[in-house]
């Protein structure tokens, strides 16, 4: 389930946000990716600052709607499949979009990606967390372990 929002004039005309307050319903990266594909879509590829802002606005509107959304990061379609260079300085360049789009746009949080065993990417949504070095944990990207539940 999720909230679907469609626009008539964009390259990707529809977006669907799925947020599960019940922690037991949250899923890992591959499960999220498969759920999107079964639904006829793909995990989100963010191709520009404008699209990033659009998604931030959608999340803000969802939060304002009284739906009870609290802390909980969102999977996006960025991931790294080659662990061979995960600790090298080339690591940030190894991240690719799951839908094969080629956008170079990135919105990493300060000191991210940390690489290592963290190969799948979330968009932060932690409004109650104390700000870190990069400010609030809202909407910037963080690499995380692919088996984490978001």
Decide if pLDDT at 31 tops 90: yes
Q: How far is CA 67 from CA 30, 125, 129, 136, in A?
A: 26, 15, 19, 21
**Dihedrals φ, ψ of 61, to 5°?**
-65, -40
- pLDDT at residue 92, rounded to an integer: 85
pLDDT above 90: percentage of residues in the chain: 51
**What's this model's pTM, rounded to 2 decimal places?**
0.88
- How confident is the model over 92-121, as pLDDT tens digits? 889 999 988 889 999 999 999 988 889 999
pLDDT of residue 1: 56
CA–CA dist 72, 18 (Å, integer): 11
Q: How is domain 2-144 classified at the architecture level of CATH?
A: Roll (3.10)
Closest by CA to 101, choosing from 25, 46, 41, 30, is 46
Euclidean distance between CA atoms 145 and 119, whole angstroms = 6
CA 149 to chain centre: 12
- Report the SS3 class of residue 138: strand
Residue 36: is its pLDDT beyond 60? yes
């Amino acid at each position: 389930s999720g909230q679907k929002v469609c626009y008539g004039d964009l390259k990707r005309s529809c977006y669907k946000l799925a947020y599960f307050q019940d922690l037991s319903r949250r899923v890992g990266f591959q499960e999220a990716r498969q759920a999107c594909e079964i639904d006829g879509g793909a995990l989100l590829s963010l191709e520009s600052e404008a699209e990033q802002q659009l998604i931030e606005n959608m999340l803000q509107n969802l939060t304002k709607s009284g739906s009870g959304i609290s802390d909980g990061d969102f999977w996006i379609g960025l991931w790294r499949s080659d662990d061979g260079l995960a600790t090298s300085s080339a690591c940030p360049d190894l991240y690719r979009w799951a839908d094969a789009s080629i956008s170079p746009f990135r919105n990493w949080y300060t000191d991210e990606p940390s690489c290592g065993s963290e190969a799948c990417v979330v968009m932060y949504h932690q409004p109650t967390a104390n700000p870190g070095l990069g400010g609030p944990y809202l909407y910037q990207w963080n690499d995380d372990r692919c088996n984490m539940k978001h």
